[in-house]
Amino acid sequence: MTLFTDSVGSRIIEIFNDDLSFFFQQEVYLENEMNVIDLNVEIPIGEYTITTNSDFNNQQFGVVNPYLWRSPQNILYPYAFQDIMAITNSTFGADYYYYFYDWKVSTPDMYCGSELVPATAVLDLETATLDIDPELEFVVSPNPTSGACYLALKADGVVDVELRNMEGVLIQAEKNLDLGNRPHQLDLTNYPSGVYLIRVVQENRFFTKKIIRL
Protein backbone atom coordinates (compact mmCIF):
# COMPACT_ATOMS: atom_id res chain seq x y z
CA MET A 1 0.00 0.00 0.00
CA THR A 2 0.99 3.67 -0.29
CA LEU A 3 1.41 6.25 2.48
CA PHE A 4 2.21 9.96 2.24
CA THR A 5 4.02 12.09 4.80
CA ASP A 6 6.13 15.22 5.19
CA SER A 7 7.70 13.88 8.41
CA VAL A 8 10.51 11.39 7.88
CA GLY A 9 10.72 8.59 10.43
CA SER A 10 9.40 5.22 11.60
CA ARG A 11 5.83 4.15 12.28
CA ILE A 12 4.33 0.91 13.48
CA ILE A 13 1.44 -0.31 11.33
CA GLU A 14 -1.09 -2.42 13.24
CA ILE A 15 -3.96 -4.65 12.08
CA PHE A 16 -6.30 -6.21 14.65
CA ASN A 17 -9.88 -7.34 15.27
CA ASP A 18 -12.18 -6.32 18.12
CA ASP A 19 -11.27 -9.10 20.55
CA LEU A 20 -7.55 -8.99 19.61
CA SER A 21 -7.60 -12.68 18.65
CA PHE A 22 -5.77 -11.45 15.57
CA PHE A 23 -3.03 -8.87 15.98
CA PHE A 24 -0.36 -7.88 13.46
CA GLN A 25 2.21 -5.09 13.60
CA GLN A 26 5.16 -4.07 11.48
CA GLU A 27 7.56 -1.16 11.83
CA VAL A 28 8.21 0.78 8.62
CA TYR A 29 10.51 3.69 7.86
CA LEU A 30 8.93 6.44 5.77
CA GLU A 31 10.68 9.01 3.62
CA ASN A 32 9.32 12.38 2.60
CA GLU A 33 6.08 12.32 0.57
CA MET A 34 5.14 9.01 -1.15
CA ASN A 35 6.11 5.62 0.32
CA VAL A 36 5.12 2.17 -0.95
CA ILE A 37 5.28 -0.51 1.76
CA ASP A 38 4.71 -4.25 1.72
CA LEU A 39 3.03 -5.72 4.80
CA ASN A 40 2.83 -9.23 3.35
CA VAL A 41 0.24 -10.34 5.90
CA GLU A 42 -2.37 -13.10 5.58
CA ILE A 43 -5.66 -12.09 7.21
CA PRO A 44 -8.50 -14.55 8.00
CA ILE A 45 -12.07 -13.67 7.08
CA GLY A 46 -13.44 -11.07 9.52
CA GLU A 47 -13.62 -7.39 10.42
CA TYR A 48 -10.41 -5.51 11.23
CA THR A 49 -8.96 -2.10 12.02
CA ILE A 50 -5.73 -0.89 10.43
CA THR A 51 -3.95 2.01 12.08
CA THR A 52 -0.63 3.17 13.53
CA ASN A 53 0.63 2.64 17.07
CA SER A 54 -0.10 5.89 18.94
CA ASP A 55 2.43 5.22 21.75
CA PHE A 56 5.19 4.75 19.18
CA ASN A 57 4.09 7.91 17.36
CA ASN A 58 4.37 9.80 20.64
CA GLN A 59 7.90 8.51 21.14
CA GLN A 60 8.91 9.54 17.62
CA PHE A 61 7.11 12.88 17.22
CA GLY A 62 5.88 13.91 20.66
CA VAL A 63 2.21 13.48 19.66
CA VAL A 64 -0.06 10.52 18.90
CA ASN A 65 -0.49 11.85 15.34
CA PRO A 66 1.56 9.76 12.85
CA TYR A 67 1.75 12.73 10.44
CA LEU A 68 0.36 10.73 7.56
CA TRP A 69 -1.74 12.45 4.93
CA ARG A 70 -5.51 12.00 4.96
CA SER A 71 -8.20 13.34 2.66
CA PRO A 72 -11.75 14.71 2.98
CA GLN A 73 -12.17 14.80 -0.80
CA ASN A 74 -14.65 12.56 -2.67
CA ILE A 75 -15.21 10.22 0.28
CA LEU A 76 -17.90 7.61 -0.26
CA TYR A 77 -17.72 4.57 2.02
CA PRO A 78 -17.79 1.64 1.68
CA TYR A 79 -15.08 0.95 -0.89
CA ALA A 80 -15.92 -2.62 -1.89
CA PHE A 81 -13.80 -5.08 -3.83
CA GLN A 82 -16.11 -7.86 -4.91
CA ASP A 83 -15.50 -11.25 -3.24
CA ILE A 84 -12.32 -9.93 -1.55
CA MET A 85 -12.83 -7.12 0.96
CA ALA A 86 -14.38 -3.74 1.73
CA ILE A 87 -13.14 -0.55 3.42
CA THR A 88 -16.15 0.54 5.43
CA ASN A 89 -15.16 3.56 7.53
CA SER A 90 -12.31 5.50 9.13
CA THR A 91 -11.45 6.14 12.75
CA PHE A 92 -12.66 9.73 12.27
CA GLY A 93 -15.95 8.75 10.68
CA ALA A 94 -17.24 8.75 7.15
CA ASP A 95 -15.93 12.23 6.26
CA TYR A 96 -12.23 11.34 6.04
CA TYR A 97 -10.13 8.72 4.31
CA TYR A 98 -7.18 7.97 6.58
CA TYR A 99 -3.61 7.17 5.63
CA PHE A 100 -3.56 3.96 3.59
CA TYR A 101 -3.92 4.22 -0.19
CA ASP A 102 -3.58 1.90 -3.20
CA TRP A 103 -4.08 -1.36 -1.35
CA LYS A 104 -2.71 -4.47 -3.04
CA VAL A 105 -4.68 -7.52 -1.91
CA SER A 106 -5.32 -11.00 -3.25
CA THR A 107 -7.14 -14.17 -2.30
CA PRO A 108 -5.10 -17.23 -1.21
CA ASP A 109 -3.48 -19.27 -3.95
CA MET A 110 -5.40 -22.36 -4.99
CA TYR A 111 -3.61 -25.62 -4.25
CA CYS A 112 -4.54 -29.05 -5.49
CA GLY A 113 -2.23 -31.81 -4.43
CA SER A 114 -1.99 -35.40 -3.30
CA GLU A 115 0.36 -37.61 -1.38
CA LEU A 116 3.70 -38.26 -3.04
CA VAL A 117 3.87 -41.60 -4.83
CA PRO A 118 6.84 -43.25 -6.57
CA ALA A 119 7.08 -43.23 -10.35
CA THR A 120 9.38 -45.20 -12.63
CA ALA A 121 10.92 -43.72 -15.77
CA VAL A 122 12.39 -46.01 -18.42
CA LEU A 123 15.04 -44.65 -20.80
CA ASP A 124 15.05 -46.54 -24.10
CA LEU A 125 18.02 -45.30 -26.10
CA GLU A 126 17.19 -47.51 -29.05
CA THR A 127 13.83 -45.89 -29.68
CA ALA A 128 13.20 -42.43 -31.09
CA THR A 129 9.91 -40.61 -31.57
CA LEU A 130 10.53 -39.27 -35.08
CA ASP A 131 11.39 -40.83 -38.43
CA ILE A 132 12.64 -44.22 -37.26
CA ASP A 133 13.29 -46.47 -40.22
CA PRO A 134 13.93 -50.20 -39.60
CA GLU A 135 15.88 -50.41 -42.87
CA LEU A 136 18.58 -48.28 -41.22
CA GLU A 137 19.07 -50.67 -38.32
CA PHE A 138 22.71 -51.56 -37.85
CA VAL A 139 24.84 -53.91 -35.80
CA VAL A 140 27.63 -52.71 -33.50
CA SER A 141 30.28 -55.22 -32.54
CA PRO A 142 31.93 -55.70 -30.12
CA ASN A 143 29.72 -53.97 -27.58
CA PRO A 144 30.99 -53.26 -24.94
CA THR A 145 34.33 -52.34 -26.49
CA SER A 146 37.73 -51.41 -25.14
CA GLY A 147 38.31 -49.09 -28.12
CA ALA A 148 37.46 -50.09 -31.67
CA CYS A 149 34.09 -51.36 -32.86
CA TYR A 150 32.50 -52.12 -36.23
CA LEU A 151 29.22 -50.96 -37.75
CA ALA A 152 27.36 -53.20 -40.19
CA LEU A 153 24.35 -51.59 -41.95
CA LYS A 154 21.44 -53.48 -43.52
CA ALA A 155 20.50 -50.76 -46.03
CA ASP A 156 22.30 -49.60 -49.18
CA GLY A 157 23.42 -46.03 -49.92
CA VAL A 158 25.56 -43.44 -48.19
CA VAL A 159 24.93 -42.40 -44.60
CA ASP A 160 26.31 -40.06 -41.95
CA VAL A 161 27.56 -41.59 -38.70
CA GLU A 162 27.51 -39.55 -35.49
CA LEU A 163 28.94 -40.31 -32.07
CA ARG A 164 27.31 -38.45 -29.16
CA ASN A 165 27.66 -38.51 -25.41
CA MET A 166 24.71 -39.21 -23.10
CA GLU A 167 23.85 -35.50 -22.99
CA GLY A 168 23.35 -35.62 -26.75
CA VAL A 169 26.44 -33.53 -27.51
CA LEU A 170 28.05 -34.40 -30.85
CA ILE A 171 31.67 -35.46 -30.33
CA GLN A 172 32.47 -37.13 -33.67
CA ALA A 173 30.88 -37.19 -37.14
CA GLU A 174 31.72 -38.92 -40.42
CA LYS A 175 29.89 -37.96 -43.61
CA ASN A 176 28.86 -39.83 -46.76
CA LEU A 177 29.92 -43.33 -45.74
CA ASP A 178 28.90 -46.33 -47.83
CA LEU A 179 28.22 -49.03 -45.24
CA GLY A 180 26.13 -51.29 -47.42
CA ASN A 181 29.10 -53.29 -48.71
CA ARG A 182 31.45 -53.58 -45.74
CA PRO A 183 31.57 -52.93 -41.99
CA HIS A 184 32.90 -49.57 -40.89
CA GLN A 185 35.34 -49.18 -38.02
CA LEU A 186 34.59 -46.62 -35.32
CA ASP A 187 37.40 -45.99 -32.86
CA LEU A 188 36.52 -44.92 -29.29
CA THR A 189 40.04 -45.40 -27.94
CA ASN A 190 40.57 -41.71 -27.19
CA TYR A 191 37.28 -41.31 -25.29
CA PRO A 192 36.80 -41.99 -21.57
CA SER A 193 34.87 -45.00 -20.33
CA GLY A 194 31.11 -44.61 -20.38
CA VAL A 195 27.97 -44.96 -22.47
CA TYR A 196 27.76 -43.29 -25.90
CA LEU A 197 25.20 -43.04 -28.67
CA ILE A 198 25.90 -44.04 -32.26
CA ARG A 199 23.47 -42.49 -34.72
CA VAL A 200 23.19 -43.38 -38.40
CA VAL A 201 21.48 -40.75 -40.57
CA GLN A 202 20.31 -41.09 -44.17
CA GLU A 203 18.44 -38.06 -45.52
CA ASN A 204 15.58 -37.58 -43.00
CA ARG A 205 15.80 -41.09 -41.58
CA PHE A 206 17.87 -42.21 -38.63
CA PHE A 207 18.52 -45.01 -36.17
CA THR A 208 20.36 -44.85 -32.85
CA LYS A 209 22.11 -47.43 -30.68
CA LYS A 210 24.06 -47.17 -27.46
CA ILE A 211 27.60 -48.44 -27.06
CA ILE A 212 29.60 -48.96 -23.90
CA ARG A 213 33.25 -47.90 -23.83
CA LEU A 214 35.07 -49.95 -21.19
pLDDT of 162 > 50? The answer is: yes
**pLDDT tens digits, 40-83:** 999 999 999 999 999 999 999 999 999 999 899 888 899 988 88
User: pLDDT value at position 139?
Assistant: 84
pLDDT band, residue 129 (cuts 50/70/90): very low
User: pLDDT value at position 166?
Assistant: 85
Q: Are 96 and 71 in contact (CB under 8 A)?
A: yes
Q: How much of the chain exceeds pLDDT 70, in percent? A: 91
**pLDDT tens digits, 178-210:** 776 678 888 898 888 888 998 888 877 788 888
Q: How many CB atoms lie within 10 A of CB 7?
A: 13
Q: What is the mean pLDDT of residues 6-21?
A: 93
User: pLDDT value at position 214?
Assistant: 85
User: pLDDT value at position 127?
Assistant: 47
**What is the pTM assigned to this prediction?**
0.51
* Cβ within 8 Å of residue 48, ≥6 positions away: 15, 16, 17, 22
Which residue would you say has higher pLDDT here, 9 or 131?
9
pLDDT band, residue 130 (cuts 50/70/90): very low
Query: Cα–Cα distances in Å, from 79 out to 13, 37, 72, 89, 97?
Result: 21, 21, 15, 9, 11
| Domain locations in the chain as residue ranges | 2-98, 134-213
pLDDT band, residue 110 (cuts 50/70/90): confident
- What is the domain class of 134-213 according to CATH? mainly beta
- Residue 150 sits at the vertex; the CA angle it makes with 145 and 151, to the nearest 5 degrees, is 125
Average of per-residue pLDDT values in the chain: 85
Q: Exposure string (b/e) for 31-66, b if CB count within 10 Å is 16 or more?
A: eeeebeeebeeeeeeeeeebbbbeebbeebeeeeeb
- Residue 121 sits at the vertex; the CA angle it makes with 117 and 122, to the nearest 5 degrees, is 150
pLDDT of 31 > 80? The answer is: yes
* Cβ within 8 Å of residue 96, ≥6 positions away: 70, 71, 72, 75, 90
Which residue would you say has higher pLDDT here, 165 or 136?
165
User: pLDDT value at position 124?
Assistant: 56
